[in-house]
Chains A and B, each alone.
Chain A
Amino acid sequence: MKGQRFSCPVLVVQGLVISLLVLGCGLNAFAQDATTTEDTRLFDTAKIWIFLAVILYSATVVYCIYHARSGKELFIRRIPGLEAVDEAIGRATEMGRSIMYILGLGGVSNVATIASMNILSQVAQKTADYETPLRVPCNDPIVMNVVQEMVKTAYLNEGRPDAYNEENIFFLTESQFAYAAGVDGMMVREQPAAVFLQGTFFAESLILAETGNSIGAIQIAGTDKEHQLPFFIAACDYTLIGEELFAASAYLSREPMLLGSLKGQDYGKVMIFGAIVIGVILELFGITWMTTFFQRVR
């Protein structure tokens, strides 16, 4: 697959153009707003409730993180897909084959991609221990850069910097189906023993999962895209459904900070749960202020 990797000059041009596009877009939007919009308010009061909700939620998460850091052990329920991570890595090691980790099509600021990179970091620590080759074809050059740093750090943390091979984490293409075609070809030719599909996926999800299934690899998938989950459930051995993907890094690392954050998220769900139950009771008695409130929040 060396022909599919791209040399530094290509990545340099691609990276420059993308970074300038992203950063330039923001500035241009700012410049256009400054010239065409007459609204000079610094704060959009229509969004005050969203702001307050974010503050309340953030405060809950921060409180839980501090609580977790105080040393109290926090419970986290069993997530079967994540318990299979060790099994998948062990299998690849025993068979002497590689592990393929696919982060999907999300950019570096995509929440699912960030969660996926956290899982990758945990997987990389284990592969560093076992000296199992970890192949990561990337769809985004910026994601590739971040992933290279994360995996390198994971190998360093395990005391195995010699086992780290930067060429195993490479940019393929940004085009959705060209990426799918490239990864499929790699899967068939390299026959990885384990395939991780974690992140943001679109129509290519079934193409990738089906190919991984056809080569007999143990597959652990996870995405926040509910329309792609059915394909992963059908074609993969284990699937992290929606928020399980975000809970994964806490589950694998058991770090107090991440566990505390997860606990805080659960409290957030309790608030939503409570709002729904109270709202339903009020609505049935003809008290509509709660529905009106949620309708007005924009």
Chain B
Amino acid sequence: MELIGIWVAAMLTLCIYSFLYRDNPFYRFAEHLFVGISVGYGIVLTYHQGFKPFAWNPLQEAVTEQEWIGLVRLIPIGIGVLFFARLVPSQGWLIRYPIAILIGVGSGLAIPNVMRADIFEQVHGTLAPFAQIHAGELSRFQIFGVVLMLIGVISTLTYFFFSVEHRGVVGGVSKIGIVFLMIGFGSAFGNTVMGRVSLLIQRVDFLLHDWLHLI
């Protein structure tokens, strides 16, 4: 059985890699299989990890044990069912309620976290090294790094001002910001490509070792 699994995996790997040459029936077969299986798997997964534990089982429990407070779950279930209002054209507007709740809850949960992680902690991270400079804990090279970081933060922030025309001083500072951004993107690019190459190595290792036993 394991052998069959290895052969199927190897064949599908080759089918997907054949896209590097051009679109072909093998790739198309693997693509449709991949999409179809992922949707089927997703439905089964959400049924077992979502519908059963969060909706069906608690409701069943509430009814069998006559704990009627458990029926409060019918409220979110009812709101969720409104998603299907689109299937009835005349009642399609009802879908706006669950969507509004989802967006509202999502934004409400996200905003405080963004404020803390992206603003307060970032500002703290920018300021903290200057306390170390005052305490004389940093070497000259480290101080240079801290000053460079400050220039990077200020210039990059300037780039993201939208209601000011990027001319003169603002234009110059935002150009420095772009340079910092591009250096950051370049290093991230190299880092990620390294990660992708390791994934390729894993796949080639699977083909040559597990499948063909060549290495």
Q: Which residues of A line the B interface, CB within 8 A?
A: 3-4, 6, 8, 10, 12-28, 47, 49-51, 53-54, 57, 74-77, 79, 107-111, 114, 142, 145-146, 148-149, 172-175, 177-179, 181-182, 184-185, 188-189, 206, 226-227, 229-231, 233-234, 241-244, 247, 250-251, 262-263, 265-266, 269, 272-273, 275-277, 279-280, 283-286, 288, 290-291, 294-295, 297-298
Contact = CB atoms under 8 A, between A and B. Distances in A.
A275 B83 contact: no
Contacts of B19: 184, 188
B203 interface: no
Contacts of B121: 294
Contacts of A244: 160
B43 to A, nearest CB: 6
A112 to B, nearest CB: 11
A27 B72 contact: yes
Contacts of B116: 50, 297-298
B43 A24 contact: no
Interface stretch (B3-11, B163-171, B204-212): B163-171
B185 interface: yes
Contact of B103 (A27, A108, A184): A108
B87 A295 contact: no
B39 A189 contact: no
B157 A273 contact: yes
A3 B121 CA distance: 48
Interface of B: 16, 19, 22-23, 27-28, 30-32, 34-35, 37-39, 41-43, 46-47, 49-51, 54-55, 58, 72-73, 75-77, 79-81, 83-84, 86-87, 95, 98-99, 101-103, 105-107, 110-112, 115-116, 119-121, 123-124, 126-128, 130-131, 133-134, 150, 153-154, 157-158, 160-166, 181-182, 184-186, 188-189, 192, 196
Interface of B is mostly: helix
A24 B54 contact: yes
A213 to B, nearest CB: 14
A294 B120 contact: yes
A75 B163 contact: yes
A142 B83 contact: yes
Contact of A146 (B28, B99, B162): B99
Nearest to B122: A272
Given A20-B77, A24-B73, A272-B157, 19 more contacts: A6-B39, A14-B39, A17-B51, A19-B80, A20-B55, A23-B101, A24-B80, A50-B120, A53-B115, A54-B111, A77-B163, A109-B102, A109-B110, A145-B86, A173-B42, A178-B35, A230-B192, A280-B126, A283-B134
A294 B80 CA distance: 40
